[in-house]
């Protein structure tokens, strides 16, 4: 979908559909909605008066610009350039924040996509009028909500219809606010397209998205955006001692790859970077500790952390944030064969520490351990890892509400919580007490890679903490957030959600502002 900004009156917008809004409790439409109401001969006012539309959040009403006595469309009599009008409810004014702007835009895009013959739409900037939100912020959320709601996964059917909507024009009446609207739309578009990239990666079938292919796509994106990139193959990882990661990879015919992306803006290229690390298990059978066959198909999502990091670096590069950021994605398959690592093995990681393997299905923490040891060479100001690490996180927090946050640094945790609340990708902090260390103590090695069910959430984070030396660190368990079996809300479709991209971009921007 193409996004653009246009200065003018929404009543004059040349599109198949125009979008205006209404707060709950409003009886007389004002502003742009009032202008459209007048052009419709009071059609919106009539809906309100008859009780057919209340302005309740996430509701819509469709009106036609002009109808003949037989009900057929007669645009020659219309005072609007567009033949259709979509009215979107905003809910109560006292509950209307930036999340509601994004949601209103998403609702509109979803409704528009269901209408035959609608390929172009034009919309006002929700929240930038009576609600008083900053024009740039509101335009960003309109762009973001529109893109997120319009996302469709790649199809492998022989007959695949084209997407319904091809363009969305954001109309700003004030010429003085046009530059702010364009700035906000550009930022929202950059983030939205990055979320969609992460969704594409997670949705992709695992026979097509091998570690090598994932690395190639990340490097292609980096070249397009202007990021630095490098990839370590297994020989290079062997040289630096990544025994944990290579143990996980042994059973797969597809070679592991360590992807490194860097945004090094002018004037900040030598500064200590903010580092993101994403678990990239492109398919997880559980190894010899085999997963249940009925659920295994969904393990194509076990690279959701890496997808979020790749998407975030794309947006950060597009926005050219004044903050050096490095993204690392260890990409590997966890497969069982005669060369696979086994329960009972003891392996040595990059730091020289040893781990006793209790479960080969606890592979993500091993892969993260070596990647987190590797990034110490960058002398980072902070490191955040994202991983679809445990099924227990869904039991603790439910699905698609909040991801789990574990950190050994109070300041970093607070920054993440603030970024989460602002981006809408929410977190919940978990304890990191020393007592969670006891279940992963080994009789033969320095640590075990699994503690079993009891205390498994914090104990898994304590395992990872063993390999984070010399920098503030936080771990985000996103296993309950990355894949949905049905549409969660108007912004998030069935399938991959792209969770984490918006959160990481917001965090990077906050470091840039306060550095």
| Spans of all domains in the chain | 2-173, 194-514
Angle between helices 98-113 and 135-150 (to 10 degrees): 40
Whether 291 is a known active-site residue: answer: yes
In the predicted model, is pLDDT for residue 453 greater than 80? Answer: no
Contact in structure between 237 and 221 (CB atoms under 8 Å): no
- The pLDDT score that the predictor gives to residue 78 is 54
Whether 365 is a known active-site residue: answer: yes
- The pLDDT score that the predictor gives to residue 163 is 64
- The pLDDT score that the predictor gives to residue 79 is 82
Q: What is the pTM of this model?
A: 0.96
- The pLDDT score that the predictor gives to residue 309 is 99
Question: Annotated catalytic residue: which of 291, 353, 426, 510?
Answer: 291
* H helices present in 131-210, as ranges: 135-150, 178-203
Q: What is the pLDDT confidence band of residue 195, given thresholds at 50, 70 and 90?
A: very high
Lowest mean pLDDT among 66-75, 152-161, 267-276, 336-345: 66-75
- The larger pLDDT score, comparing residue 200 to residue 453, is at 200
- The pLDDT score that the predictor gives to residue 514 is 73
Lowest mean pLDDT among 129-133, 295-299, 394-398: 129-133
Question: Annotated catalytic residue: which of 365, 402, 448, 502?
Answer: 365
**Which of 273, 278, 253 shows the shortest CA–CA distance to 262?**
273
CATH pick for 194-514 out of 3.90.420.10, 3.90.180.10, 3.40.630.10, 3.30.1360.40:
3.40.630.10
- The pLDDT score that the predictor gives to residue 106 is 98
Q: What is the pLDDT confidence band of residue 67, given thresholds at 50, 70 and 90?
A: low
User: In this structure, what DSSP letter does residue 67 have?
Assistant: B
In the predicted model, is pLDDT for residue 256 greater than 60? Answer: yes
- The pLDDT score that the predictor gives to residue 515 is 60
- Give the pairing type, strands 257-263 and 325-334: antiparallel
Contact in structure between 419 and 396 (CB atoms under 8 Å): no
Q: What is the pLDDT confidence band of residue 159, given thresholds at 50, 70 and 90?
A: confident
Domain 2-173 grouped into CATH 3.40.630.10? no
């Amino acid at each position: 979908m193409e996004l653009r900004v246009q200065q003018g009156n929404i009543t004059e917008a040349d599109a198949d559909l125009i979008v205006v809004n209404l707060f709950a409790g409003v009886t007389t439409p004002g502003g742009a909605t009032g202008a459209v109401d007048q052009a419709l001969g009071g059609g919106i006012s009539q809906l309100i008066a008859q009780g057919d539309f209340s302005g309740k959040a996430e509701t819509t009403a469709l009106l036609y610009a002009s109808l003949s006595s037989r009900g057929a469309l007669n645009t020659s009599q219309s005072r609007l350039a567009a033949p259709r009008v979509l009215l979107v409810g905003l809910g109560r004014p006292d509950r209307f924040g930036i999340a509601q702007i994004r949601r209103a835009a998403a609702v509109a895009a979803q409704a528009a996509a269901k209408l035959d013959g609608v390929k172009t739409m034009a919309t006002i900037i929700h929240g930038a009028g009576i609600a008083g939100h900053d024009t740039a912020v509101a335009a960003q959320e309109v762009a973001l909500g529109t893109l997120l709601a319009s996302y469709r996964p790649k199809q492998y059917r022989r007959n695949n219809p084209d997407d319904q909507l091809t363009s969305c024009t954001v109309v700003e009446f004030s010429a003085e606010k046009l530059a702010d609207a364009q700035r906000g739309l550009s930022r929202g578009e950059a983030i939205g397209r990055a979320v969609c990239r992460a969704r594409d990666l997670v949705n992709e079938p695992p026979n097509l998205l091998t570690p090598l292919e994932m690395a190639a796509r990340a490097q292609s994106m980096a070249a397009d955006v202007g990021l630095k990139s490098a990839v370590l193959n297994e020989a290079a990882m062997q040289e630096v001692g990544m025994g944990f990661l290579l143990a996980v990879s042994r059973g797969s015919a597809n070679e592991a790859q360590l992807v490194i992306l860097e945004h090094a803006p002018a004037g900040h290229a030598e500064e200590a970077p903010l580092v993101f690390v994403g678990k990239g298990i492109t398919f997880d059978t559980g190894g010899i500790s085999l997963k249940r066959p009925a659920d295994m198909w969904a393990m194509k999502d076990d690279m959701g952390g890496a997808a979020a990091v790749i998407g975030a670096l794309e947006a950060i590069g597009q926005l050219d944030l004044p903050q050096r950021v490095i993204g690392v994605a260890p990409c590997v398959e966890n497969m069982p064969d005669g060369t696979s690592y086994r329960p009972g093995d003891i392996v040595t990681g990059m730091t020289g520490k040893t781990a006793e393997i209790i479960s080969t299905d606890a592979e993500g923490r091993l892969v993260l351990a070596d990647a987190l040891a590797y990034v110490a060479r960058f002398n980072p100001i902070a490191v955040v890892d994202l991983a679809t690490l445990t099924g227990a996180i869904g039991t603790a927090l439910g699905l698609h509400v909040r991801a789990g946050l574990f950190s050994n640094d109070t300041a970093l945790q607070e920054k993440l919580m603030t970024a989460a609340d602002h981006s809408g990708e929410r977190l919940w902090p978990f304890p990191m007490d020393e007592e969670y260390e006891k279940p992963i103590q080994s009789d033969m090695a320095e640590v075990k890679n699994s503690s079993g069910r009891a205390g498994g959430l914090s104990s898994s984070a304590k395992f990872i903490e063993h390999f984070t030396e010399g920098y503030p660190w936080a771990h985000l368990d996103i296993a309950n957030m990355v894949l949905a079996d049905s549409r969660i809300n108007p912004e998030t479709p069935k399938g991959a959600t792209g969770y984490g991209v918006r959160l990481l971009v917001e965090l990077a921007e906050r470091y840039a502002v306060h550095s």
